[in-house]
Amino acid sequence: MSEAKDLKSASGSPHPLAVVVVNWNGRQDLPDCFRSLGDDRFLQLRVIMVDNGSEDDSVAWTREHYPEVEIIETGENLRWAGGNNVALKMLKEEKYTGHILLLNNDTVVPEGSLRRLADALEDSPEAWAVTPRICYAHNPALIWYDGGLVGKFSGWVRHAGLRKMAGKLDYNRRFIDYGTGCALMIRSEVLDRVGLLDDGYYFYGEDADYSLRITSAGGRIMHVPRAVILHKVSATLGSDSPRKAWLRSRSHMRLLGKHWPRAFWPVLFFTQLGFLGGHSSWHLWNGRLETAIAIWQGAVDEMCGRGY
């Protein structure tokens, strides 16, 4: 048996894996995240934490308890895309060859999930990226993400399977429209073919943007439901904050302007009225007037080019 086959049988993949975790004042989430990565026993596993200028003891704690984790200190909050890009640039300059997992710091990775994701990339040459099924950490039977859907004509972008019971949904691999940045594994060669993340997105939208760039370049994105990750949802901004709604709305409009041809815009105008109106109505129904207003304000601010 060849050396590559020996390695695959032991680790689930003949390629090394670099896990990039962006952190900003997330010390309380790091123990669960790093512990779960160690439990996976993935051979040639490399964990890189990009610290975005944390003011808590994230860096000191990681150095003490997980000295094997590589730490990059940016000295400022570059947000999700900018922080990941620092690590991706480093890996590209190193001519790193393997797989790269972009992973939120507020996640827990059950043993075997990394191997299942890597196996999917090995088994499917047309797949340039793969995503796991993501469930709520407080209720692992409930799904937060089971693939990303993008309406070609409507411009609606959403998670499949949201708040559905995991046991009732299909476990077969399938191709999807976009992969969430909460846990997105890519081949290292994607950096040469697609480039880095667009850090022009202040918050949200970067993952959908990158996914659309992957498919435009000829790649596909595969969803692997048998690989499961648990997510402590909205640990950074809060579940229904006006700030979150405003940022998400701005990023959504930026995504549409970047990827949808102008010929589609007359249709998009009406579909987006329904999209934004539906979200704002839901918040109004639940007594969140400020959040409902923020949805529309974000869209207007982005279209007018106002600053953050």
Find the range with the poorest average confidence among 24-38, 55-69, 72-86, 236-250.
236-250
Q: What is the pLDDT of residue 8?
A: 44
**Among candidate residues 180, 201, 231, the one where a domain is terminated:** 231
pLDDT at 6 exceeding the cut of 50: no
Mean pLDDT within 65-92 = 97
Return the structure tokens found at 290: 């400020």
Domain co-membership, 175 together with 296: no
Q: Are 44 and 75 in contact (CB under 8 A)?
A: no
Q: What is the pLDDT of residue 4?
A: 34
Mean pLDDT within 45-68 = 97
Domain co-membership, 92 together with 27: yes
Domain co-membership, 113 together with 256: no
Mean pLDDT within 14-43 = 91
**What is the sign, positive or negative, of the torsion defined by CA atoms of 294, 299, 300, 301?**
positive
Domain co-membership, 126 together with 107: yes
Could you tell me the CA-to-CA distances from 167 to 108, 109, 155, 305 in Å, in that order?
19, 18, 29, 44
Q: Which helix (H) or strand (E) holds 158?
A: strand 157-159
Q: Cα(14)–Cα(251) distance, rounded to whole angstroms? A: 37
Q: Cα(91)–Cα(84) distance, rounded to whole angstroms? A: 11
Domain count of the fold of the chain: 2
118-160 residue pLDDT tens:
999 999 999 999 999 999 999 999 999 999 999 988 898 999 9
Residue-number span of the structural domain to which 49 is assigned: 3-231
**Among candidate residues 205, 231, 257, the one where a domain is terminated:** 231
Q: In terms of residues, how long is the chain?
A: 308
Confidence class of residue 281 from pLDDT cuts 50, 70 and 90?
very high
Return the structure tokens found at 193: 């073919």
Q: How many CA atoms lie within 13 A of 160 on its CB side?
A: 20
Residues of the chain above pLDDT 90, percent: 83
Find the range with the poorest average confidence among 1-10, 169-178, 190-199.
1-10
The 3-state secondary structure of 233-299 reads CCCCCCCCCHHHHHHHHHHHHHHHHHHCCHHHHHHHHHHHHHHHHHHHHHHHHCCCHHHHHHHHHHH
CATH number for 42:
3.90.550.60
Would residue 237 count as lying in a domain? Answer: no
Domain co-membership, 163 together with 137: yes
Domain co-membership, 276 together with 187: no
* Average pLDDT, rounded, for the chain: 91
Name the burial class of residue 92, with classes exposed (0-12), middle (13-18) and buried (19+) by CB atoms within 10 angstroms of its CB. middle
Domain co-membership, 8 together with 138: yes
**Among candidate residues 231, 254, 283, the one where a domain is terminated:** 231
Domain co-membership, 224 together with 299: no
